[in-house]
């Protein structure tokens, strides 16, 4: 009888003094082994994703510069027409990278540096825009012409040429400019998926 009172007194808690069996305890927390397995799976997943993300970032950077170049080619062509003045895009390279400059005047009148600065030797000429591509950016510019002249009277671009934007992994996007100033984009040898091969 006294055991019954103690059991009732304790409510749900088992009475070990009375001979009632203790209820099994629910597992609380995780073992060190389980935590290590989970961390290993997470590390493998992240390790597989990081290179793919870096490749994607390099691709977007290269494509962004290619789009900027096409936009600048269209812009210098439209500036020549709106100003009714010949305009140029000139390409330069130095030890630290490459660049291009949109300007008025003759081919050798204006130059640029890979840090984005530009200078014209003749004060009558003006710089419209300059773009520098430092080697540390992972993109370099390579043109088969030193400069292109956009003539508003004839509506022509001379000489026609091609400009390559080359990523540090060798993937290349080429902008081909024809005599009328129109551009076509392709990838030499198909190094960039999603672009026409040229």
- The two tokens of residue 19 are 């001979």
Across the beta sheet with 156-158, the strand order is 127-134, 97-103, 87-94, 147-151, 156-158
Alpha-carbon gap, residue 146 to 10, rounded angstroms: 95
Nearest-CA neighbor of 191 among 82, 69, 58? 58
Rounded to the nearest integer, the mean pLDDT of the chain is 88
Alpha-carbon gap, residue 78 to 91, rounded angstroms: 19
DSSP label of 21? P
Specify the pLDDT at position 8: 47
Q: Where do the domains of the chain lie?
A: 48-89+135-190
What is the secondary structure of 172-186 as a DSSP string? EEEEEE-TTS-EEEE
pLDDT digits (tens, 9 = 90+) for 115-174: 999 999 988 899 999 999 999 999 999 999 999 999 999 989 999 999 999 999 999 999
* Residue 186 CB burial class (10 angstroms; 0-12, 13-18, ≥19): middle
Asked if pLDDT for residue 6 goes beyond 90, the answer is no
Asked if pLDDT for residue 2 goes beyond 60, the answer is no
Specify the pLDDT at position 26: 61
- The two tokens of residue 94 are 């130095």
1-5, 18-22, 149-153: lowest mean pLDDT where? 1-5
pTM (predicted TM-score):
0.75
Specify the pLDDT at position 47: 84
The arrangement of secondary structure in 48-89+135-190, i.e. its CATH architecture, is 3-Layer(bab) Sandwich (3.55)
Q: Is the peptide bond before 159 cis (omega within 30 degrees of 0)?
A: yes
| φ and ψ of 176, to 5 deg | -105, 125
pLDDT digits (tens, 9 = 90+) for 32-59: 888 888 898 988 888 888 888 888 999 9
Specify the pLDDT at position 50: 82
Specify the pLDDT at position 115: 94
Across the beta sheet with 172-177, the strand order is 139-143, 161-167, 172-177, 183-186
């Amino acid at each position: 009888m006294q055991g019954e009172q103690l059991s009732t007194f304790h409510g749900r808690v088992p009475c070990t003094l009375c001979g009632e069996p203790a209820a099994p305890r629910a597992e609380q927390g995780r073992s060190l082994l389980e935590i290590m397995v989970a961390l290993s799976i997470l590390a493998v997943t992240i390790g597989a994703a990081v290179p793919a993300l870096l490749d994607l970032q390099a691709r977007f950077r290269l494509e962004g510069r290619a789009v900027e170049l096409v936009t600048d080619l269209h812009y210098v062509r439209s500036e020549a027409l709106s100003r009714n003045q010949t305009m140029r895009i000139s390409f330069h390279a130095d030890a630290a990278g490459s660049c291009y400059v949109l300007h008025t005047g003759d081919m050798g009148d204006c130059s640029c540096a890979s840090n984005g600065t530009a200078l014209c030797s003749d004060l009558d000429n003006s710089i419209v825009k300059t773009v520098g591509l430092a080697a540390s950016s992972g993109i370099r510019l390579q043109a088969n012409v030193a400069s292109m002249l956009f003539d508003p009277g004839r509506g022509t671009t001379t000489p026609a040429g091609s400009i390559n934007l080359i990523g540090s992994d060798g993937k290349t996007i080429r902008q081909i400019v024809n005599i009328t100033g129109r551009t076509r984009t392709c990838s030499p040898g198909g190094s960039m998926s999603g672009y026409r091969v040229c």
